Structure formats: C-alpha cells, structure tokens
C-alpha cells in the first residue's frame, strides 16, 4: 500500500485526486487550510488542517509518505504578494521538507500552462518561429508568462529545479481544467443558457483537460515520470516536465456550442438561440477591473479579474501533449465533447443549473 501526501486536498482537483487514490486502496494524508468538509474513510484517510507555508504542519504531514502531490496554490488573491507567498514559498517549504527526509518521496508538482504564456495570434509556425497554434507549446519552449499567476508558478518551478538533485521531482502543466465539480466553467454555462456568449476573441484557441483525465496523468507522472534536472543540467530539454492536455484545442465559440449541444441533449431549457458577441478589449478590461474590486475589497469569488483579462487578450493558449503520450502513455480516454456532456450531467444532478 502506497502512502500519499496531497496538498490542496479540498480543492477541485485535490478532491478528485484523493478519491482516486482511496478507491485504489492507497493511504492518503490530505492537507488543506480547512478540513471542515472532509471525512475519514476506513482509516485510509488522515486529514491535516494547515497552511503549506507552515513548516511544522508540513513536517507533520510528511511523515512516512511515499509520494507527494503538491496541488496547493493561489489562482487569484487580494494581492500579488500573497499569491507569490503561497505559490512560491509554499512550494519551497513542502519540497524542502520532502528533500530533508532520509528516504525522500517522489514529488509531483501540478503547475500550469500559464507559466508558458500564450501563442501570439501572428505566429505562423514557420521555421524558427517557435510554437504555433496548430502544434502548441512544448516543454522545450521558453516560458513567457503574462499573468501574476503564471509568473509565480514559474518561480515555483525554479525552486524545484534547485532541489532536483535532492528530490525525485516531476512537474505537470495542465491547461484549463474542467469537469464534474468545477465552478469556473459554470459561469459560461449560465451565459450560454441565457443565449449569449460574450468573448474577447472568436479566433483564439485554447487547450482544456477534464479532471477525469488529469488525475490519472498526475498519478502516472508521480509513479513513472522522468525526473526533473537542475536548471543548469536541463538547459532547454524540459526533462521532467509534461503537458497533460486534450489534443483538441477549441475557440470559446466552439466551446460554447459544445455546451449548448449538451444542454439540448438533456432537454435543459435555454432562453434563446445562442449568439456569440465579441466585446472590445476596453470593455474586457473594465469588467476585469470590476472583478478585481470585488475580489480585493470583499474577498468574493470572481470569474473575471485583471489577471484573466491579461491572459484573454494575449493570444491562443494551446499546449502539446506528445511527450506525455510517449513517456507516460497518457492520453485522455474520451474526447472533449464527451467530457462536456459529463460536466453537464454533474451540474444538472447538483442542481447548479436551476
């Protein structure tokens, strides 16, 4: 029986990881800032409430584990300093604690496509042009993050490169993660039901991955992924890093049409036929600014803030999963349209579409 430590265990991805590990008969130490909604499962699950920046709590959670899956992160906080503290220093604390053990566990870090940055809309993909929208970014491409989130996750990866000689580390970079239990895509569902799809671009393309497929990919990386090298040794090889993605990149127009089709399939009413409306960038910045005020002033959950607008106006966000397919035998077990249908079923059963 393998013993796993999962940080960020109460998050959207974390809950799915924990459930999968327990279903396979593993022991799990689930660490989150709050454990109010967690429950023990036959002694297999141990819950620890604590912040990943708290070295004493991390040391307590780290005892006798065989593998660490580090998911805890800040996607959007009231300040950049707080985000950096959680994403960078939190990663440093957790990885350093693992590296200090006599028999260091394998360490899987869940990063993000946000570290790579977008593919500019004028990138043709010709020789010397780097990644193209058609092929997507690869692990050997230089990273040019445009958001605070992407920059802090890239800094966290730098911390891990520094510990690569002391700890067996593998990094996975998923694109936007959707699936059962995801509340971010729910906002798009609601606008589609109202008959409107408001977009900043009708042509930019985006990679997605369902949490249903992501979890097996994370576990494969933890078990048999190539390990990270120090930055000096790695150079631009990208060894020990994997993009886990659905091979089909879509525009927001195509994604909204998939959602509309899934609603129709289950006879979930829509107010009117779907219309796609591209708004000026200035309007996007205004909406993002309003979201920023809500987030910073009231601590509310927002779908759109300034960081998201920075990403949204910058180009296509497409990654290439070839390396993961070759080295991890990873490939989503269903296409994106099917995963959208599964998400629709979950939303409907959870009464989120009422």
Alpha helices (H) along 182-273: 186-194, 211-224, 231-234, 252-265
Question: What's the predicted TM-score (pTM) here?
Answer: 0.91
Helix (H, G, I), strand (E, B) or coil at 184: coil
* Cβ burial, residue 56 (10 Å; 0-12/13-18/19+): exposed
What pLDDT tens digit does each residue of the chain (354 aa) get? 799 999 999 999 999 999 999 999 999 999 998 765 444 555 799 999 999 999 999 999 999 999 999 999 988 656 678 889 999 999 999 999 999 999 999 999 999 999 999 996 655 343 334 567 878 999 999 999 998 899 999 999 999 999 999 999 999 999 999 999 998 899 899 999 999 998 988 999 999 999 999 999 999 999 999 999 887 655 568 899 999 999 999 999 999 999 999 999 998 988 889 999 988 888 777 777 777 677 666 655 666 777 778 788 889 999 999 999 999 999 999 999 999 999 999 999 999 987
- Tokens at 31, concatenated: 């660490």
- pLDDT at position 80 is 76
- State which CATH number among 3.30.2320.30, 3.30.160.100, 3.40.50.720, 3.40.50.2000 fits the domain covering 3-179+209-245: 3.40.50.720
Residue extents of the structural domains in the chain:
3-179+209-245
How many residues make up the chain in this entry?
354
Per-residue CA distances from 265 to 140, 192, 232, 286 (Å): 41, 14, 53, 35
Helix (H, G, I), strand (E, B) or coil at 7: strand
Q: What share of the chain is helix, strand, coil (3-state, %, to 5)?
A: 40, 15, 45
């Amino acid at each position: 029986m393998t013993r796993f430590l999962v940080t960020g265990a109460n998050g959207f991805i974390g809950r799915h990881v924990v459930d999968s590990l327990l279903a396979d008969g593993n022991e799990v130490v689930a660490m989150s800032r709050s454990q109010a909604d967690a429950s023990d499962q036959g002694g297999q699950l141990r819950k620890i409430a604590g912040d990943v920046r708290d070295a004493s709590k991390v040391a307590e959670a780290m005892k006798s584990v065989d593998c660490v899956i580090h998911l805890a992160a800040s996607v959007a906080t009231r300040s950049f300093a707080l985000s950096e503290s959680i994403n960078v220093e939190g990663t440093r604390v957790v990885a350093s604690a693992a590296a200090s053990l006599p028999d260091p566990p394998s360490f899987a870090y869940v990063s993000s496509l946000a570290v790579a940055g977008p593919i500019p809309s004028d990138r043709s993909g010709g020789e010397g042009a780097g990644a193209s929208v058609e092929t997507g970014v690869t692990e050997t491409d230089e990273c040019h993050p445009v958001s605070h989130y992407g920059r802090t996750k890239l800094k966290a990866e730098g911390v891990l490169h520094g510990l690569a000689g002391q700890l067996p580390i593998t990094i996975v970079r998923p694109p936007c993660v959707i699936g059962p239990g995801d509340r971010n895509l729910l906002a798009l569902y609601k606008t589609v039901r109202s008959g409107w799809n408001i977009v900043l671009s009708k042509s930019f393309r985006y990679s997605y991955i369902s949490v249903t497929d992501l979890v097996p990919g994370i576990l494969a990386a933890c078990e048999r992924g190539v390990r990270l090298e120090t930055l000096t040794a790695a150079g631009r090889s990208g060894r020990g890093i994997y993009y886990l993605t659905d091979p089909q990149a879509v525009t927001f127009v195509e994604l909204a049409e998939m959602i509309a089709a899934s609603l129709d399939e289950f006879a979930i009413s829509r107010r009117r036929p779907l219309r796609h409306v591209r708004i000026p960038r200035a309007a996007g910045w205004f909406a993002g600014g309003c979201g920023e005020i809500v987030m910073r002033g009231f601590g509310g959950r927002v779908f759109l803030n300034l960081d998201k607008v920075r990403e949204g106006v910058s180009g296509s966000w497409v990654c290439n999963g070839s390396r993961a397919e070759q080295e991890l035998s990873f490939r989503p077990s269903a296409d994106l349209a099917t995963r959208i249908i599964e998400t629709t079923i979950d939303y409907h059963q959870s009464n989120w579409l009422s």
